[in-house]
Structure 1
């Protein structure tokens, strides 16, 4: 994705950035190629933030890594953002390392899939050994879940029997897949349709299936929550609550209204292909989690414990989920 297109997306959001006036502000910083931008655009487009008494300031940023930390994480931890989303294993890892961050609402089952050429001999987990497998980073959730599933169901660890190749960003991973630098790559769900609908590639292994197999539950687990700093949550509790209300309004709109997706396709997507747009729309609707409760959190703990037992704390980068990581009812 070119910088010009990133600028176009930001301009589309800025059209709905009215003067906040005296409203409390929440600074949302999200990756320019991440699926939350569809939700954030919808909140701004229909004024759901103002409806609930706050101003959501949205800025799209790079998805690059710096010393193993994503750009959005760094912005939050350095006090330049109030709202981001990352997977809950990363939240636990950063919180265990001393970061003042709290997950306060679910986003969704933001896992991806293994994209391979259509003529590839990779059909599933058992075919990974001996292959060069692209990953954004070796600690990302797609690779950890895959390692756990391989060890649980096939008695091998692809971190040892395959060659994981870190791309450092989603954009670079797509390039590596298309140019054959890797045999296959674990790309994030929202980018997969752009690859599979426009070229000779297929999603040979949806990671969401591994989540369900490993967690042994039919409940759709919110792998990625929204998070903020503990300080912001303490000082702006009502604003955090207002965001969750605006979020639910936007989810309802995106689930029920097909026309808004046509607008999103024009404003935020880097391709003009109705089939890609519909694939992204349907994938988003399947991925998103509107709300959570204590049962959801229990399921997330069970999945974490299972991943730790199978892949080990070293693979997760954290021994346990620290107390206070989740705030179900802020």
Structure 2
């Protein structure tokens, strides 16, 4: 891990640790989230406002690397190895891991956490049709953003960029940004909170937000969550009150983050790599547009339709799984 990244993780962790009081007799929920992922804003809000104790549980937050371990993201590895009780990943990855036998379940939506296609300002890439013959950086080939791009290109434009472009796996979001800035790739599919950090501080532009592809491919106007919060079947069985408490604390945090601009100024100062007012506002507005506070059966139906559509268009090889396992989504806890 690069030294600057280590410092960033330690600095943010110190801010969170300021609010890590004793759990008392409350059940502990060990949350492990990426140091550059947007859930950290919500986790910080819960800890700063004491919403975990208010809802009867103790949230223990540790930020981790966004690199891969054994082909899966670090947070996934920690949950499956018993080192975490709460993470967030996209539901396609959840389906892939659960179909392979991982005892993990989705307990609540997070949001439409996709990214954007970012290129240098003078790039000839203007839309998806321009990806032919280009080197495009991705965190990994099974990343949801690349899956969405493959599905959209195959359905709308009659080609598969996995075959007619050159996807270059970076292994982490940090490395993905470096590859773009060093000119090793002609564009990247970067996670949405990092896009403003790139476009506001350098000669780069966002060609296409992946959120547009989500809505087009799902054929619905309803905002669908792509990422959900996960826990293990064992933790859910043994600590249902803690999971219910988290869901309540999350909803309260969403209420504050969607209405309190001063809170975002504090988050920008303490948790963001670029404490620039324009970047903070861009991330704030993007978070508010992305987040999903709750879900119901209609939401799950929409997520199933999107999965089926991606499967039909992109195929099981692109998704890494051919079905959403039964009982993966737990609406009622």
What is the number of residues matched between the two proteins?
330
CA distance in 2 between counterparts of 1:267 and 1:122 reads: 35
Which residue in 2 is equivalent to 1:252?
255
CA distance in 1 between counterparts of 2:22 and 2:125 reads: 52
Shift of the alpha carbon at 1:63? 0.8
Q: In the alignment, is residue 27 of structure 1 matched against residue 30 of structure 2?
A: yes
Shift of the alpha carbon at 1:4? 1.1
CA distance in 1 between counterparts of 2:100 and 2:228 reads: 19
Shift of the alpha carbon at 1:217? 0.2
SS of the counterpart of 2:258? Answer: helix
Shift of the alpha carbon at 1:186? 0.1
CA distance in 2 between counterparts of 1:60 and 1:34 reads: 9
Shift of the alpha carbon at 1:319? 1.1
SS of the counterpart of 1:318? Answer: coil
Q: In the alignment, is residue 314 of structure 1 matched against residue 317 of structure 2?
A: yes
Counterpart selection for 1:6 from 4, 9, 14: 9
Which residue in 2 is equivalent to 1:231?
234
Q: Which 5+ residue runs of structure 1 have no aligned equivalent?
A: none
Which residue in 1 is equivalent to 2:102?
99
Shift of the alpha carbon at 1:67? 2.1
Shift of the alpha carbon at 1:225? 0.3
SS of the counterpart of 2:206? Answer: strand
Shift of the alpha carbon at 1:270? 1.2
Shift of the alpha carbon at 1:74? 0.6
SS of the counterpart of 1:319? Answer: coil
CA distance in 2 between counterparts of 1:163 and 1:282 reads: 32
CA distance in 2 between counterparts of 1:217 and 1:35 reads: 25
Q: In the alignment, is residue 172 of structure 1 matched against residue 172 of structure 2?
A: no
Shift of the alpha carbon at 1:179? 1.0
Which residue in 1 is equivalent to 2:221?
218
Counterpart selection for 1:193 from 193, 196, 199: 196
CA distance in 2 between counterparts of 1:76 and 1:36 reads: 16
CA distance in 2 between counterparts of 1:157 and 1:270 reads: 35
Q: Which 5+ residue runs of structure 2 have no aligned equivalent?
A: none
Counterpart selection for 1:141 from 134, 141, 144: 144
CA distance in 2 between counterparts of 1:297 and 1:209 reads: 19
CA distance in 1 between counterparts of 2:109 and 2:146 reads: 21
TM norm structure 2: 0.98
Which residue in 2 is equivalent to 1:59?
62
Shift of the alpha carbon at 1:43? 0.2
Which residue in 2 is equivalent to 1:18?
21
Shift of the alpha carbon at 1:2? 2.2
Shift of the alpha carbon at 1:68? 1.1
Q: Could you list the runs of 4 or more consecutive aligned residues of structure 1 that deviate by over 2 angstroms after TM superposition?
A: none
SS of the counterpart of 1:86? Answer: strand
Equivalences for residues 235-314 of structure 1 within 5 A: 235-314=238-317
Shift of the alpha carbon at 1:329? 1.3
SS of the counterpart of 1:256? Answer: coil
CA distance in 1 between counterparts of 2:116 and 2:330 reads: 29
* Cα-Cα RMSD: 0.6
Q: In the alignment, is residue 74 of structure 1 matched against residue 47 of structure 2?
A: no
Shift of the alpha carbon at 1:96? 0.3
CA distance in 1 between counterparts of 2:332 and 2:146 reads: 31
CA distance in 2 between counterparts of 1:16 and 1:207 reads: 35
Note the alpha carbon deviations across 1:234-272, whole angstroms, 9 max, x for none.
111111011000000000000000000011011101122
